[in-house]
Amino acid sequence: MFRTMRLLIVFALILVAVPPLAAQANPVEIPDLPATCSTATLPDQETTLVCFPPASMWNGDLVLFAHGYVFDYPPGLPPILPYDQIMLKVGDSTVWLPAVLNQMGFGFAMTSYSKNGLAVKEGVAETRALAAAISAQVAAAGREIRHVYVIGASEGGLITTLLMERYPEEFHGGLAMCAPVGDFQKEINYWGNFRAVLDVLFPVLPASAIDIPSTLMADWVLPIEESYYQQNLMLAMQDNPPWTAALITVTQAAVDPTSPATTPLTVKGLLDYNIFATNEGQVELGVQPFDNMTTVYSGAGPLDQYINAKIERYPSSGDVAAALAPYQTSGLLRRPLIEMHTTLDPIVPFWHQGLYTAKVIATHSWPKYTPVAISRYGHCNFTTSEMLYYFLAMVYKSSQRPIDLSFMQGLFSDNGQTYQAILALNGNSTRLPSSPRQTFLPALSNH
């Protein structure tokens, strides 16, 4: 009983660590859309959301939002439009991102994509199609879209980056957040290595890193107090702190060293993706992409030899390079892109920013790229002020129009806290600087 109580206390602490803009979502229904918004469901089950301010307020610009990964569970559900990914925390309440952008004069649109799960290719194609359709409707009404911007988090951040690299004539600026932009193969290996090492140290979960049984999925989706595998894994980790520390060290998974509760949060988050994304991802890619045949695991001292001797080895199958080519970035930019990442992101590690920076330098695209590092734990764990400030910085870099931040002073009912935080990011000036701050960050350790 005491061990179970300890487990529930740990998970109670975990529940407070919810980012303001989630990278994957349980769907949140909004029953009453504002009059400025409309939805449509296309024949392929893709749902679109379009929100425009009144014609007199529209500044002529359109913002496309590329949403993050939505688990394809239970399988076969129609594509989900993840409303919770466009909810922003302001003080003690939440605000809707489309409403904020509409108040600032921007049009807003997003699509569910035509499938859940791994949907990068669909996201790229369908975001382009949505932008083209809106442009045609605006032209039919006798007006013209001046700039089209795209923003996205996690998988949506990768979609944003690919759109900026491949279609600079269609998109004028991008803001990518917490995205696997450095190397998609390394991201797959990171998730696979975590499960493979965990299976050595804590052999609790059934099947393997590349084969997820439906019984595990059905159990893992349950609350912790009802889940056999979650309870047994977390209790095993609590009872063996040195091996838990070895799991984190060997896999280089991010935790906050000042907050012990982030260790089970990291483990749960990474296993969510292993359990719910592995099978579907293999179907989408048409290959088994994880490969650890030559990986040497290290960082746990005396345990290294044990881990390397006991770990399951998985060869990739099929033409992995060809299958992953649509998901790999080039670093070639002809339009401004700002890329935000927390330094302690457990799901999409911070080293992606360093890898992408190297690509940008190699393609001589540095003037178009702004990497932003936020010293914080969590996946997509940005404040509303950070996201809005760097969105406006991207707009400035793209349009070269001066932006006076004072109009945001009364935008939120939080006694000016968001406005003051935005001013602090801008050096307490109401105007964005002529060249927004750029921070060069070298690649961190990766595997």
Residues 220-235: pLDDT tens digits? Answer: 999 999 999 999 999 9
Same domain for 178 and 41: yes
- What pLDDT score does 92 carry? 87
Which residues lie across from 51 on neighbouring strands? 37, 108
Tokens at 135, concatenated: 């442009």
User: Last residue of some domain: 322, 344, 362?
Assistant: 322
Same domain for 341 and 307: no
End-to-end Cα distance, the chain: 40
State the number of CA atoms in the 13 A half-sphere of 170 facing the CB. 20
Same domain for 334 and 269: no
Tokens at 146, concatenated: 């001046």
Same domain for 316 and 337: no
Same domain for 156 and 122: yes
Which residues lie across from 94 on neighbouring strands? 89
Same domain for 419 and 313: no
- Residue 436's pLDDT band (cuts 50, 70, 90): low
Q: How many domains does the chain have?
A: 2
Q: What is the pLDDT of residues 129-155, one digit of tens each?
A: 999 999 999 999 999 999 999 999 999
Same domain for 196 and 273: yes
Query: Per the domain annotation, does 432 fall within a domain?
Result: no
Domain limits for position 382: 37-182+330-425
Same domain for 334 and 294: no
Alpha-carbon distance of 63 to 68, in angstroms, equals 16
Same domain for 196 and 292: yes
CATH number of the domain bearing residue 122: 3.40.50.1820
Same domain for 280 and 156: no
Query: Per the domain annotation, does 19 fall within a domain?
Result: no
Same domain for 223 and 117: no
Same domain for 189 and 156: no
Q: What is the pLDDT of residues 22-70, one digit of tens each?
A: 344 444 455 467 778 999 999 999 999 999 999 999 999 999 999 999 9
Phi then psi for 387, rounded to 5 degrees?
-65, -45
Alpha-carbon distance of 349 to 364, in angstroms, equals 24
Query: Per the domain annotation, does 430 fall within a domain?
Result: no
User: Last residue of some domain: 300, 322, 344?
Assistant: 322
Query: Per the domain annotation, does 117 fall within a domain?
Result: yes
Query: Per the domain annotation, does 65 fall within a domain?
Result: yes
Write down the pTM of the prediction: 0.92
Query: Per the domain annotation, does 189 fall within a domain?
Result: yes
Which residues lie across from 86 on neighbouring strands? none
CA 307, distance to chain mean position in Å, is 30
- Residue 81's pLDDT band (cuts 50, 70, 90): very high
Q: How are strands ordered across the β-sheet holding 47-51?
A: 37-41, 47-51, 107-111, 61-66, 147-153, 173-177, 337-344, 369-377
Query: Per the domain annotation, does 438 fall within a domain?
Result: no
